[in-house]
Amino acid sequence: MQYQTFLSKRYLKRRWAPWAAALAVALGVFSLISVLAVMEGFKLEMKERIRGSLSHVVVKGSAMRMLVGEDPLLEAARETAGVEAASPFIETLAIYRSTVLDYCILRGIDPSSEPKVSDFGLYLLSDEEIDRLQADRFLMLPDDRPPPDPQRVSEMFSLERRRQMLRWRLRGDPSVGFDEQAPPQGLVVGIEALRSGRLALGDVVQLSSYSPVSYEPRIGQFIVVGAFQSGVYEQDQRWAYSDIRALQQILDLWDDEAQDMRITGISLRLSDYSQANQIREQVQQEIGRRMELDPTDGDAIPWRSMEIKTWEEQRENLLQAVEIEKRIIAAMMLLIVAFAAAMIFLILMLLVIEKNRDLGVLRALGATRSGVVILVLKQGMFLCITGAVFGLLGGWLLIENINQIHELLYLATGVRLFPPDIYYLEKIPAHLRWQDMVLVCAPTLIFGFLGSLLPALWAGRRDPIKALHHE
Amino acid sequence: MNDLQPSHPVLSARGLCREFSLTEGRSLEVLRHLDLDIHEAEMVAIVGLSGVGKSTLLHCIGLLDTPSSGQLIYHKDGQTWRSPGLDEAQRCALRNQFIGFVFQFFHLLNDLDVLENVMLPAIVGTPKAEWKQRKHEVEARARSLLDTVGLSGREKQAPGTLSGGERQRVAIARALINNPRLLLCDEPTGNLDSNTSEKIHTLLRQLHEDFGTSILVVTHDPDLASRADRRLAMIDGRFESAADGTDR
Ligand SMILES: Nc1ncnc2c1ncn2[C@@H]1O[C@H](COP(=O)(O)OP(=O)(O)OP(=O)(O)O)[C@@H](O)[C@H]1O
Ligand SMILES: [Mg+2]
């Protein structure tokens, strides 16, 4: 069964057309692999950034009734095995007026425990960093900044900081109308709000919202004391953080029935996120158990409806959009591979026609039908596999050096294929997964096989006598 | 050659029929109850008008075509194969080992050089596992065959650059590489001028005597026919007389 190898070598040695088919396969695999790797890298990067500003798991009450019993809630969560930290939060929509009228998603957090459940502490910028980021509109802080000081968040919302900002503000504009002894509440906004010029450090803004308790409009005065950069554009533009206690006061969240302040929910950090579903189940049980207890019991949590979600579930739509985008692109790009397989098909058909006589001679010399089928099939699969291997290799090389290549392209043509202001990325992220390689190679080989099988079967069915009849 | 010596027939055909079905339900009977024995070390020539079915007979004997009815029996070293009754693998093995083909149009593979063309039947017939150890033996035999047909030193040449006579010599060497029992030649010199033809005829006769291979040759060439041990005239799908002895 080795004459097939022998003959295939001789046939392929003298022809360039089959190699064009192999090249087409290589190009198809190459582009598919690169695109999938970049999409995957992009997805991971997105995910990482979204994850950073969210905690692993969130226990959330309904929008109107919210949750009460902050202390026993936190206690219940912290006592559950697998929960590393828990922190309360409030979330509301607010409108403010600066140069324009705009809205923000206002999050009230506990400055001391929030850094333990999310990366907010890491995203919080120093004054010097804010200057740098405002100077360069596309600058993104590197991931490997020194770990934040756990006190930073508390300092940011402290009276001291608010006074300092106000003092600095009053020097420029004495008409702000606040006394240094009683400064407004601190507000940390996203860097894009500063970059777009809507707000500036030290600005005193009036935020309007509604109290979910009294349904009355509520107004609070805040001073911009800091900024953060999460890397997710939408968040950096719209999210704002304040101290949870101040926000509770402003929104008038006192719950008469429970004789306690309401909160939107609590954020949890898990020791092992892969266990999220189990741990969530346990937290749910523990909180449920406490909600059943007699209200006089110290552990009791007043009953409210609630839901527990992982951060991925919270941002399901966004994450799924990226995933679906990736799938659609992969499906479209598979057309390239199918096209390459069609090329293999055509070239083998031509080869069978051209070598019709040779195949007849082979049959006369003792080759079996299946031997001839294998001869053609082998060539097709050889071309396909060679193409796939080179495509993979090329894709891998590109992915390894994608940023250097992008930089070279930029220097040569002055065009940025991947503008940092749109994707908010300094570097093109790329991540090659073996699943994606399988996803690319399996259809390539299947298409290649089908493309080779038809000409091969056809070659096997040809009548050797007819082939031998004419010169 | 001694005609009187009772030797085994290498090939026997009994009641061979071959019909081609044409359109409108009609059919063309090409071979009609044809009987033929070819003995060991015998050279038989078949002559006949064009279209009488000589090539068809050769294809049937060479197991490329299937007779409509009748039997073919092959003998080798006390072994017997009967067709019908052979599976595809056996038919291919017989084509490879038992039979050698020489065609009117040479049919060399242009992508291989001369030596590789001669070795081709051995390459096709040898399983992968055995090839490594057989390779040198096969190559040596191919070289000696090329030498016999007068083409030593041309091993690496491309077949496209050979003259017609040289190509046919290569084809003959190729047909003999597996040391077949029976050489089937279909108008081997039909495409060559008389001078070259004569040389091929001499070569065939000489190889026949040297190797003792039985030869069945279809020809229109009286010179080649006259060199055969036996000459059969084919008329109307069968032989004119079953044992028409030669006059030389
Ligand atoms: N596949 C086929 N279908 C129909 N008829 C066929 C087929 N093959 C051969 N024939 C017919 O069978 C007859 C014998 O053909 P064959 O080729 O055997 O003749 P031949 O004796 O070899 O002639 P020549 O000397 O010209 O080569 C011819 O009439 C031919 O038309
Ligand atoms: Mg003929």
Total domains in chain B come to 1
Q: Are residues A91 and A124 in the same domain?
A: yes
Cα–Cα distance measured from residue A446 to residue A333, given in angstroms and rounded to the nearest whole number: 15
Q: Considering chain A, what is the average pLDDT of its residues?
A: 87
pLDDT at position A420: 63
User: pTM of the entire structure?
Assistant: 0.76
Task: Give the least confident one: A145-154, A161-170, A366-375, A450-459.
Answer: A145-154
Is the pLDDT confidence value at B246 over 70? no
Query: Ligand 1: which residue has its CA nearest to atom 5?
Result: B20
Q: Are residues A69 and A197 in the same domain?
A: yes
List pLDDT tens digits, range A416-446: 776 666 556 667 788 888 888 898 899 999 9
Contacting B with CB below 8 Å, chain A residues are 1-3, 6-7, 10-11, 13-14, 357-358, 360-369, 371, 464-465, 468, 470-471
CB distance B47 to ligand 1 below 6 Å: no
Q: In the listed set A294, A314, A334, which residue is the last one of a domain according to the structure?
A: A314
Q: Are residues A152 and A35 in the same domain?
A: no
For residue B84, the CA-to-ligand 1 centroid distance in Å is 22
Summarize the confidence of residues B142-146 as an average pLDDT: 90
SS3 B206: helix
Q: Are residues A93 and A70 in the same domain?
A: yes
pLDDT at position A424: 63
Q: In this structure, is residue B29 part of a structural domain? A: no
The DSSP output letter for A183 is: P
What is the domain extent for residue B165?
A: 43-67+94-239
The DSSP output letter for A470 is: -
Instruction: Tell me whether residues B101 and A2 touch, CB distance under 8 A.
Output: no
Nearest Cα neighbor of B234 from B102, B55, B101, B81 is B55
List pLDDT tens digits, range B94-135: 999 999 999 888 889 988 999 999 999 999 988 888 888 888
Instruction: Tell me whether residues B123 and A2 touch, CB distance under 8 A.
Output: yes
**Percent of chain A residues topping a pLDDT of 90:** 31
Total domains in chain A come to 2
Query: Ligand 1: which residue has its CA nearest to atom 10?
Result: B20
Summarize the confidence of residues A213-229 as an average pLDDT: 90
Task: Give the least confident one: A125-134, A310-319, A368-377, B207-216.
Answer: A310-319
Residue A257 pLDDT class (50, 70, 90 cuts): confident
Is the pLDDT confidence value at A294 over 90? no
Task: Looking at the complex, report in whole angstroms how far the Cα of residue A366 sits from the nearest Cα belonging to chain B.
Answer: 4
CB distance B61 to ligand 1 below 6 Å: no
Q: In the listed set A257, A279, A314, which residue is the last one of a domain according to the structure?
A: A314
CB distance B219 to ligand 1 below 6 Å: no
Locus of tokens 């000589």: B54
**Percent of chain A residues topping a pLDDT of 70:** 97
Q: Are residues A129 and A269 in the same domain?
A: yes
Q: In this structure, is residue B113 part of a structural domain? A: yes
Is the pLDDT confidence value at B44 over 50? yes
Chain A interface, mutation test: which of B124, B126, B170, B174, most A Cβ atoms within 10 Å?
B124
Instruction: Find chain B residues with C-beta within 8 A of A369's C-beta.
Output: 88
List pLDDT tens digits, range B11-38: 888 888 898 888 888 888 888 888 888 9
pLDDT at position B1: 44
Task: Looking at the complex, report in whole angstroms how far the Cα of residue B246 sits from the nearest Cα belonging to chain A.
Answer: 30
CB distance B30 to ligand 1 below 6 Å: yes
The DSSP line for B156-177 is: TS-GGGS-HHHHHHHHHHHHHT
CB distance B23 to ligand 1 below 6 Å: no
Task: Looking at the complex, report in whole angstroms how far the Cα of residue A6 sits from the nearest Cα belonging to chain B.
Answer: 9
Q: Are residues A251 and A179 in the same domain?
A: yes
Is the pLDDT confidence value at A148 over 90? no
List pLDDT tens digits, range A71-86: 999 998 998 888 999 9
Q: Are residues A161 and A265 in the same domain?
A: yes
pLDDT at position B241: 62
Is the pLDDT confidence value at A369 over 50? yes
Q: Are residues A260 and A307 in the same domain?
A: yes
Summarize the confidence of residues A37-53 as an average pLDDT: 82
Instruction: Find chain A residues with C-beta within 8 A of B121's C-beta.
Output: 365-366
Our CA dihedral for A343, A347, A350, A356, rounded to 10 degrees, sits at -140
CB distance B234 to ligand 1 below 6 Å: no
pLDDT at position B3: 46
Q: Is the peptide bond before B84 cis (omega within 30 degrees of 0)?
A: yes
Q: In this structure, is residue B22 part of a structural domain? A: no
Locus of tokens 């080759």: A367
Cα–Cα distance measured from residue A386 to residue A405, given in angstroms and rounded to the nearest whole number: 25
Q: Are residues A230 and A150 in the same domain?
A: yes
pLDDT at position A423: 56
Instruction: Tell me whether residues B120 and A364 touch, CB distance under 8 A.
Output: no
Chain B interface, mutation test: which of A8, A354, A361, most B Cβ atoms within 10 Å?
A361
Query: Ligand 1: which residue has its CA nearest to atom 2?
Result: B20
The residues whose Cβ lies within 5 A of ligand 2, an ion, are B 55
Query: Ligand 1: which residue has its CA nearest to atom 29?
Result: B51
List pLDDT tens digits, range B161-188: 998 889 988 999 999 898 898 999 998 8
Q: Considering chain B, what is the average pLDDT of its residues?
A: 86
Chain B interface, mutation test: which of A365, A378, A466, most B Cβ atoms within 10 Å?
A365
Q: How many CB pairs under 8 A join A and B?
A: 70
The DSSP line for A351-373 is: HHHHTHHHHHHHHHTT--HHHHH
Cα–Cα distance measured from residue A139 to residue A49, given in angstroms and rounded to the nearest whole number: 15
Q: In the listed set A314, A332, A354, which residue is the last one of a domain according to the structure?
A: A314
Ligand 1 atom at minimal distance to the Cα of residue B220: 25
For residue B61, give the CATH number of its domain: 3.40.50.300
Q: In this structure, is residue B130 part of a structural domain? A: yes
B139 interfaces chain A, CB cutoff of 8 Å:
no
What is the domain extent for residue A180?
A: 55-314
Q: In this structure, is residue B207 part of a structural domain? A: yes
The letter for the amino acid at B133 is Q
The closest ligand to the CA of B18 turns out to be: 1
Q: Are residues A13 and A70 in the same domain?
A: no
Is the pLDDT confidence value at B56 over 80? yes
Q: Find the CB nearest B120 among A14, A365, A369.
A: A365
Task: Give every CB contact of residue A54 below 8 A, 6+ residues apart in sequence.
Answer: A118, A267, A311, A314, A315
